[in-house]
Structure 1
Amino acid sequence: MRRLFPVTDQTDETAVREWGLGELADAYAYPSGEGPWLRANMVSTLDGAAQHDGRSQPISSATDMRIFGTLRGIADAVVVGAETVRQEGYRPPRAREAFAERRAAAGQAVAPAIAIVTASLDLDFTLPLFAEPLVPTLVVTGAAAPADRVAAAQKAGAVVVTAGEGAGAEPQRVVRALAERGLTRLLTEGGPRLLGQFVAAGVLDELCLTVSPMVAAGGAQRIAGGPSMAVPERFELASLLEEAGFLFTRYRRT
């Protein structure tokens, strides 16, 4: 892999090499500060498909998955929609030795928590995500969520976080509610509907987008769904890495 931006000596072709996990963690470190920071990590083909046959893995790569693991390895919580949990077969994050010292120094738990944003709580609470997590899984919903499903989640050991007055959670309140629990380094992995909600609410601080050198055609979703914004929001390029035709971009809100 090589760095294309910001320009350094690693832009030279002779500097192409595999980066260690520590180097990747440094490259993707969260900005210092007291407030929460919401980062999204997504992958897209050249023609805009965020998935193929309902999953993102076919358009990914080994290096993309290393970055995926690194972003998880430095986050306090991974925020994800219920549909993505079901489609991608989410499992509880594991403690990784490569990030143990870094997490301990930052006062983080041994692994990130999974925070599932859902209105219906239509989840299988017998899955390892609830039965075997190193850090309790969070279910983020609204005050009017189905009481029986809330009770089922709590019985399964999940922590139910209220972040809205209706059945579902409100994007701004999701970020605030997690920050109140000390979870300020936030990473969302989608899906597109959830990311679209965060974008429309103006609470997305950073987008890490892998551009896959593939075309897929068909009717696959974009990385963000939902209604259009009245005025598109401008982000600026923070860094750009490349390997084997894959571009690993990082954009921050201007």
Structure 2
Amino acid sequence: MSACMLRLFPGAPEEVALPGAYLAHRLHERGRVDAPFVYASFVNSLDGRIALRDPATGESRLPGGLVSGNDFRLFLELQAQADCLITHGGYLRDLSAGRLDDVLQVGMQESARELAQWRVDNGLPPQPAIVIASASLDFPMPDSPARHGQRVLIATGASAPADRIARWRAAGYEVLIAGSGASVEGGPLVLELGSRGLRSLYLLTGPRMLDTMLRDGRLSRLYLTTAHRLLGGESFHSMLSGPELGDAGRLRLCTLHYDVSAPDGTGQFFAHFEPRPA
């Protein structure tokens, strides 16, 4: 792979290689068990859409051209640095229905085989642990984690259905209570995972988890790809939904790259942000 991108910030513009760009961030070394490093990534359009929603069925879909091969490569590099991947019940339901691909393992794609070796070379287990956040606890468990020897934990809130908690525990899964209501809350979840030795936590979730991590002051870094296209659509998802965040949503730009090889020649930005220092 010989893809390049133009670094626009910080410093003077400079062409840099795309492969390895996010591996160089060494995210797996940044967290501690008492303060795990929590990071998320999103792809959005210029008009702020991360997905479109069918008004009739409520099902979401990624529009063609929003995600590129270069963006996916950087996603895989972020995935490779995680002690655990945090997903949610909705993803597992979509995975079971065939609406989404399985991205719960590292190095499964032919073009990314070296990322599995990178984990071993950098002292990480062959595959990350998986954390499933769910209020309802109503989701199918995929068989891929068991095939690849991955540790699986389930996180829910204190008022989740007791019979479903008992059923998952009887099936051999560790169920964490990480929230005072039905939903998982960012602060308690990070504390629970840190106490179990997990230091780099990658959010493969949606707006709700990003929101609670920001409100609880637990998000360490946000990676954002902006595709240079407008999607429109009357029903859509954006990165956040719900009450106004206020100062919890103020982030500072750390890096900005321009990828000129995006689909249709329109380009895309790769950026990452961090919360303002206290």
Shorter-chain TM-score category? 0.7 to 0.9
Cα-to-partner distance string for 1:160-187 (whole Å, 9 max, x where unaligned): 2222344332220011111111111011
**What corresponds to 1:149 in structure 2?**
164
Which of 180, 192, 203 matches 1:188? Answer: 203
Q: Separation in 2 of the partners of 1:28 and 1:163?
A: 27
Q: Which runs of 5+ in 1 are unaligned?
A: none
Identify unmatched segments of 5+ residues in structure 2.
Answer: 54-59, 108-112, 261-266
Q: Is the 8 A contact 1:92 1:129 kept in 2?
A: no
1:252 equivalent to 2:274? Answer: yes
CA distance in 1 between partners of 2:216 and 2:136 (Å) = 21
Which of 203, 210, 215 is the aligned partner of 2:218? 203
Mapped to 2, the partners of 1:29 and 1:172 lie a distance apart of 20
Q: Tell whether the 8 Å contact from 2:27 to 2:200 is kept in structure 1 after alignment.
A: no
Q: For residues 28-53 of structure 1, give each alpha carbon's deviation from its aligned partner in whole angstroms, at most 9, with x where no partner exists.
A: 63563532111111111000101134
Query: Partner residue of 2:232?
Result: 217
Question: 1:227-246, aligned counterparts within 5 Å?
Answer: 227-244=243-260, 245-246=267-268
Alignment: residue pair count: 247
After superposition, the Cα gap between the structure-2 partners of 1:23 and 1:205, relative to the gap in structure 1 and judged at 3 Å, is closer
CA contact (8 A) 1:43 1:50 kept: yes
Q: How far does the alpha carbon of each residue in 1:100-144 deviate from its partner, in whole angstroms, 9 at most, with x for none?
A: 45433554221112211111101013x225653431222111233
CA RMSD of aligned residues (A): 2.5
Q: State whether residues 195 and 225 of structure 1, in contact with CA within 8 Å, keep that contact through their aligned partners in structure 2.
A: no
Deviates more, 1:186-195 or 1:203-212: 186-195
The residue number in structure 1 matching 2:8 is: 4
Alignment of 1:97-112 (within 5 A): 97-112=113-128
Q: Which amino acid aligns with 2:51?
A: Q
d(CA) in 2 for partners of 1:205 and 1:216? 29
Instruction: Report the TM-score when normalising by structure 2.
Output: 0.78
Q: Percent identity?
A: 30
Partner of 1:25: 23
TM-score scaled to structure 1, two decimals? 0.85
* SS of alignment partner, residue 72 of structure 1: helix
